[in-house]
Amino acid sequence: MRDNLVKTPDEVYNLRVHFAALVASFAAIIIGYDAGFIGGTVVLPEFANEFGFNNKPTADVTVIKANIISLFHVGAFFGAYLVYPIAIFLGRIRGFKMAGLLITFGSAIQLVSDKSHGLGWILAGRLISGIGIGAVSNLAPMYVSEISPPAIRGRLVGMYEISWQVGGIFGFFINYATEKNLSGNKQWKVPIAVQIIPAAIFLVGVFFIKESPRWYFTRNNKDQAADSLCYLRNLESDSEYIRYEIEVMEFEAMERREVLVSEFWGPFYQLFGSKSNRYKLALTTLLFVFQNTSGINAIIYYSVSMLKTIGVASTEAGLLSTGVFGLIKGVCCFLWAFFIIDNFGRKPPVLIGSFVCVLSLLYLGAYIKIADPEHTLNGSSNAASRFALAVFYVWTMSFAFSWSGFPWVYMSEIFDSKVKNLSQCFNASCNWLWAFVFARWAQDMIDAMGYGVFLFFGCALLVSMVLFGVLYPETKGIPLDDIDLLFEDGIRPWRAHGRAVQLIRQREDDHFHTSDHNHDHPISSTPFDKSVAVYTEISGSGASSQNL
């Protein structure tokens, strides 16, 4: 029977599918770039001069800066929901095109703002581009997972997180470069203008990638589905592997049509009518709360202010330090995506990284309380302040190895295809909701609490770490078809993974033991045999255990 398994030909690991995944993930560069540049841009001296910040009360300036930063997240929150019907009825690619137009247009009109036109164009542009980004944050991981061969699905979906971090590195460093080398309104307009480049590349790129074959099957468009699949797999239509994948996708589409009462409302009934799915949604949305208890969005958007509290006094030094922060975070996220999550699982890196983050945050809070470096160092540094900066970078590495990309991986693993699109909407919007909360009010926290901000996040993350360890089962190596084994009633989350692995192995042993006594027996009477599909996914050559 093992010889009858459909083997994956080398042709499916081709440049076409990698190019499609790269283009879809390219929009994440804009997300990372925005997170990196906007917090530094609003503190540039020429930006303050242009819009008269020096003549306004400090409290008013704080509100203006917070509004500039957070309107992007407001748009993204609504964009994550608005794309839901587009993804269902018009497809992933049309959704990408609409999002690309919004992002490019929103980025471009921000350049109209100046002393005479005011901040209105920046505010409107950030809201519009945010809507497009929210749509992409919903569509991109889903599209990439749909077109990817199982064996490289983890790698291809990981491009989204890597693109995010690449954008962040450029965003964090560009303000340092413009502050040192440019004057006048070029100092802040150049960082704003640069975001048009990845937006335009993304918009042009989506015209050269194929629609998801799985979406075509949901619309019962079998011919176009087959054409798209053959192109992405670089195989002819009479290939055994193509025929096998078509059978699998047709079966899934048929099952979906039988279960869902309608394409639009059916997933709502499935998601909220099922106790298991409601529980899963509570777990995944809560992940973004836990992620933010690390302090990440407060530090990303107000890094200069946060670093000032530990003794990095000048704007130039703060921008350079945030650039180093972005570089460390990006490199560590790359290592996490390609070398850690598939080899060490989901939970261990999160728990270990969270523990180190807690210690780092508590140390920084205690150091600031005792040494008060912002007022005692007078712009200089000493051994204690340099060690505190090193601890801050240790926190950066620990966060990257734990919480940075983990919520997106976990939420894409535990929902089945019937509700994945809708669950993605709620999870993406939850991410943007909490990003908005901290982008809007983190500066007020810093001003009011000082050293207490680090103690607050340290204690909050400690609670999150304990809840995460107790409530969340490990998902490493569990195929998508069997993920519900982890969430059965009466099974403790910390025991669920071992039990699921044991049941899967027992089922496979029984299947092959039976088949060895009857080589001529057909694999299955249904279009495909799930036990065979499971075996090829977790045991095939080079298979990724990420199974996104």
- Residue 162, pLDDT score: 86
Shared-domain flag, residues 26 and 10: yes
Alpha-carbon distances, residue 282 vs 176, 322, 472 (angstroms)? 40, 33, 11
Q: Write out pLDDT tens, residues 286-335.
A: 999 999 999 998 888 887 778 888 877 666 677 778 888 889 998 998 88
The structure tokens listed for 58 are 């400090």
Domain end marker among 450, 472, 494: 472
Provide mean pLDDT across the span 468-493.
Answer: 88
Predicted local distance difference test score (pLDDT) of residue 374? 79
Mean pLDDT of 341-361: 92
- Is it the case that residue 533 has pLDDT exceeding 80? no
| Averaged pLDDT of the chain | 86
More confident residue, 410 or 120: 120
Give the SS3 label for residue 120: helix
Judge if 13 and 123 occupy the same domain.
yes
Q: pLDDT confidence of 5, banded at 50, 70, 90?
A: low
- Residue 63 and residue 59: Cα distance in Å, rounded? 6
Helix, strand, coil fractions of the chain, as percent rounded to 5: 80, 0, 20
Of the two residues 85 and 4, the one the predictor is more confident about is 85
**Confidence at 540, pLDDT banded by 50, 70, 90:** very low
Per-residue pLDDT tens over the stretch 248-260:
889 888 888 888 8
Task: Yes or no: say if 230 and 44 are a contact pair by the CB < 8 Å rule.
Answer: no
Cβ pair 460, 318 in contact under 8 A: no
SS3 234: coil
Considering the domain architecture, whether residues 171 and 303 belong to the same structural domain is answered as no
Q: Report percent pLDDT > 70 for the chain.
A: 91
Same domain, 114 and 170: yes
Ramachandran region, residue 95 (left: φ > 0; alpha: ψ -120 to 50; beta: rest): alpha
pLDDT digits (tens, 9 = 90+) for 417-455: 788 889 989 999 999 999 899 888 888 888 889 899 999
399 plus 493 within the same structural domain: no
pLDDT mean over 332-358? 90
Q: Residue 225: inside a domain, yes or no?
A: no
Tell me what the mean pLDDT of segment 395-423 comes to: 89
Q: For residue 45, is it within any domain?
A: yes
Q: Do both 447 and 499 map to the same domain?
A: no
Domain match, 417 and 493 both: no
Of the pLDDT bands very low, low, confident and very high (cuts 50, 70, 90), residue 535 is: very low
Alpha carbon dihedral 491, 494, 497, 498, in 10-degree steps, equals -90
Residues 432 and 484 in one domain: no
pLDDT of residue 425: 92
Percent of the chain exceeding pLDDT 90 equals 56
Distance set, CA 200 to CA 101, 102, 193, 316, 512 (Å): 8, 11, 11, 30, 52
27: which 2 tokens?
Answer: 């929009």
Nearest to 417 by CA among 289, 535, 545, 547: 547
Domain tally, the chain: 3
Spatial contact of 446 and 453, defined as CB atoms under 8 Å apart: yes
Q: Is the pLDDT of residue 525 over 70?
A: no
In this prediction, residue 522 has a pLDDT band, given cuts at 50, 70 and 90, of: very low
Q: Which two tokens stand for residue 368?
A: 């600031």
pLDDT in tens, 217-242: 999 999 999 999 999 999 999 999 99
Spatial distance between the Cα atoms of 98 and 442, rounded to a whole number of angstroms: 32
How far apart, in Å, are the Cα atoms of 188 and each of 92, 191, 242, 290, 470? Answer: 34, 6, 51, 33, 46
Cα 434–Cα 439–Cα 442 angle in degrees, nearest 5: 105
Q: Is the pLDDT of residue 529 over 60?
A: no
242 domain-assigned:
no
Q: Residue 411: pLDDT band by 50, 70, 90 thresholds?
A: confident
The residue segments making up the domain with residue 192 are 1-209
pLDDT at res. 95: 97
- At 530 the pLDDT is 43
**Residue 82: CATH number of its domain:** 1.20.1250.20
**Do residues 148 and 290 share a domain?**
no
For residue 238, tell me if it sits in a domain. Answer: no
Is residue 539 scored above 50 in pLDDT?
no
In b/e form, how buried is each residue of 63-89, taking b as 16+ CB within 10 angstroms?
ebbbbbbbbbbbbbbbbbbbbbebbbe
**Given a cut of 90, is residue 179 above it in pLDDT?**
no
pLDDT digits (tens, 9 = 90+) for 188-202: 999 999 999 999 999
Residue ending a domain, among 431, 452, 472, is: 472
The pLDDT value given to residue 518: 55
